[in-house]
Amino acid sequence: MRSLTMWARLKSPWVLHFNSGACNGCDIEVVALLTPRYDVERFGIKLEPSPRHADVLLTTGTVTKQCVQRLKRIYDQMPEPKFVVAIGACACSGGVFKDNYTVFGGVDKVVPVNAYIPGCPPKPEAIIDGVVKLLGSLESSESEAKPNASA
Amino acid sequence: MQRKIGIAGNLLADQLGKATIQTEPTLNRNIIKNLLETDDEACIIALTGLDLGENIGLMYHIRTKGLVVTVRTEVPKNDPKIATITDIIPGAGFHEREAADLLGVSFEGHPNLRRLVLPEDWPQGLYPLRKDAKLEGMPSAIGAANCTTQPEMKVQESQTDSRLVNIIVGPQHPALLEPEKFSLKVDGETVVDVEPRIGYVHRGVEKAAEQRTYLQDVYLIERICGICNSCHALTFVGAVEKILKTEVPNRANYIRTIILELNRLHSHLLLLGHAGLEIGYEALFQYMWRDREPIMDLTELLTGNRVISSSMTIGGVRRDLREEDVPKVKTQLSVLRKKMDFYRSLYEKEPSLKMRTQNVGVLSKEDAIRLCVVGPVARASGVKTDVRKDEPYAAYGEIPFKSITRTEGDTYARLLIRLDEITESINIIEYALDHMPSGPYRVRVPRIVVAGEAINRVEAPRGELFHYVKSNGTAYPERVKVRTPTFANLPSFLKTAIGGSIADVPANFVSLDPCFSCTDR
């Protein structure tokens, strides 16, 4: 049963996109992923409206002090196992806005991050690369953990 | 005009618009009232507050007959009170709230002087834009240690009517790209009240701009908004160039115009696609964004990056336009022009699209003027305001183009204007490419900027974008003030949503083209 759910999770990760204080540059590149040129639906990636349905949280933007609570709450609402991808320089470390008076910092100060995709904004190809690398690392760690499991 | 204002103010013409009037706080209201009566379409652009040491300076920038007049006054810092002007012109509501929030000025008579951009649990009495508020003294982590639910803003519980249902949309919502919160009070299906809470994307850009040099500020300011980044960059460098009295080469002006119009193209296509998504027409979203990709390719070809182009600098542009790129640009634009004919016929003939957008969110011309809306939202209601025509900048004075206006004022008009502006932008870019002057694309400017102040306005895709820059003779600006178009347009949504159906709220909202990273800065 576990291998079935893991297979579903890796072959069709459902993502939730949350903007915690971004300039929209990274957000429009994330939305561009769903459009015909990049079309991540062929990887099974689907944009979900609710945190309760999502496997992967794509966060963009630096975390402002007003968004700290909301980000933590959304992360807590996601069911295990969950993964967080920080997209853009601001999500990784605060970017140009680091040390401003309402900026808390990068996403990893609030929730644990599994993948960092730097760029300002990163091109959609870079975002796809990051997500695919994350799925690949999960797949290899899964197969290491259970060497006798049937695929 | 001088007669109406009277001898109470001194009229000075300088870089702060066509004229500046210095006055006392008590006479402020009358002067503004008289100024607003000089033109039917006069309204307030922005309210800049700045810390002058012992006093807090307030500058009311007013647009009348297409030009800017600034009314300056000062209030003492230990007792910063001034009478509100929201009864004269309701569009000043948000501006006064922001000055109260960030500088601590108290506007007597304001109906709703609540926090606008700072978090709810920000300490009282700490005003970030004052010079004595240093970054080290700011609260480091508000409630992050214990991530329990913070007290959220309570909607005014003035009605105890149990029929009304309070629906909270945001900060995380599938329909919204950005975090913002709207509390909608509905009676059955009709929206009775809308209370917004913005400030989730407030990153303190205006204060941060004071800690960076002018050149570093260009990279900071263009990241206020990723969608209209070139406009922010140009408005800022234009203001600095006015202080320095730099003569920007004409070739740079033409290249700037091309980059700005490419920005407008991608932004309008983005919005029209997003509007399709909100209306429930996902196929339109996919089609529009597919046709938007070549514009991103062109931006990357000319500037090096798809989104944040970083092409503007103080004194010109950073990269020259190469001759071999021109045919590629023209081919892609002619392909897009043919596609726009298809979309235009879709908007004219498709009945489900028209049903969801016609007569939805109607904003009358009087309301548009009183609420001081800008950009396509204003032009859809019949207000002829377009900075490219009123006060031409870059190469717009030399390029013939039409500024499109409609009269219906509903969602359909707001979307159709953007559709037609796409075709106009294609015309502008082709004209600029055909008439590109030769010469340098950049001049060197001194690193230390002489003392002075200037304002600059640019027609961003969403409307009139306004920057005010004050320099004090060092390499760091004294004050940078940004007034974005969505900041001006948001109060109109609060008016048009009321009385409509809740199902129409997404379509109405998206037709404003809201950009909250711009609004909150």
Q: Which of A68, A100, A121 sits opposite B226 (nearest CB)?
A: A121
CA distance readout (Å), B402 to A22, B263, B425 = 34, 18, 10
A26–B contact, CB cutoff 8 A = yes
Contacts of B153 (CB under 8 A, 6+ apart): B114, B115, B120, B181, B195, B197
Amino acid identity, position B199: G
pTM (predicted TM-score): 0.88
Residue B259 CA to residue B261 CA, distance in Å, equals 6
Amino acid identity, position B46: A
Q: Which of A20, A24, A72 sits opposite B177 (nearest CB)?
A: A24
The predicted-structure confidence for B477-488, as pLDDT tens digits, reads as follows 989 999 999 998
Residue B501 per-residue DSSP state: B
For every residue of B402-448, DSSP letters joined together read: PPP--S--SHHHHHHHHHHHHHHHHHHHHHHHHTPPPS-SB----SS
Contact assignment for B290 to A51 by CB distance below 8 Å: no
Q: If contacts are CB pairs under 8 Å, which of residues 31-60 in chain A contact chain B?
A: 31-32, 35-37, 47, 49-51
Q: What pLDDT is recorded for position A143? A: 62
With contacts defined as CB-CB under 8 Å, which chain B residues touch A23? 223-226, 229, 517
With contacts defined as CB-CB under 8 Å, which chain A residues touch B144? 65, 68-69, 72, 104, 109-110
Pairing verdict, β B165-169 and B181-187: antiparallel
With contacts defined as CB-CB under 8 Å, which chain B residues touch A109? 144
Q: What pLDDT is recorded for position A150? A: 38
Handedness of CA B441, B311, B416, B335 (dihedral sign): positive
Contact assignment for A37 to B144 by CB distance below 8 Å: no
Q: What pLDDT is recorded for position B459? A: 92
Q: What pLDDT is recorded for position A140? A: 76
With contacts defined as CB-CB under 8 Å, which chain B residues touch A102? 118-119, 202-204
Q: What pLDDT is recorded for position B17? A: 56
Q: What pLDDT is recorded for position B233? A: 92
Q: Residue A147 pLDDT > 50, yes or no?
A: no
For residue A124, what is the nearest residue in chain B, using CA coordinates?
A: B306
With contacts defined as CB-CB under 8 Å, which chain A residues touch B286? 35-36
Q: Which of B119, B515, B517 sits opposite A66 (nearest CB)?
A: B119
Vertex A46 angle, CA A43 and A85, to 5° = 85
CB contacts < 8 A, A to B, total 146
Strand partners, B60: B47, B71
Instruction: Provide the pLDDT confidence category of residue A120 given band limits of 50, 70 and 90.
Output: confident
With contacts defined as CB-CB under 8 Å, which chain B residues touch A20? 179, 200
Backbone torsions φ then ψ of B76, nearest 5 degrees:
-70, 145
With contacts defined as CB-CB under 8 Å, which chain B residues touch A68? 141-144, 147
**Chain A closest-CA separation from residue B365 CA (Å):** 31
Contact assignment for B203 to A21 by CB distance below 8 Å: yes
Please compute the mean of the pLDDT values over residues A91-120 and round it to a whole number.
Answer: 87
Q: If contacts are CB pairs under 8 Å, which of residues 64-103 in chain A contact chain B?
A: 64-70, 72-74, 95-97, 99-103
Nearest to A11 by CA among A48, A43, A46: A43
> Residue ranges of chain B with pLDDT lower than 50?
1-15, 143-159
**E runs forming strands in chain A:** 14-19, 46-47, 56-60, 63-64, 83-87, 103-105, 115-117
Q: Which of B138, B229, B306 sits opposite A101 (nearest CB)?
A: B138
Contact assignment for B226 to A65 by CB distance below 8 Å: no
The predicted-structure confidence for A37-49, as pLDDT tens digits, reads as follows 888 888 888 888 8
Q: Which of B133, B141, B307 sits opposite A28 (nearest CB)?
A: B307
The predicted-structure confidence for A62-88, as pLDDT tens digits, reads as follows 888 888 888 888 899 998 888 899 999
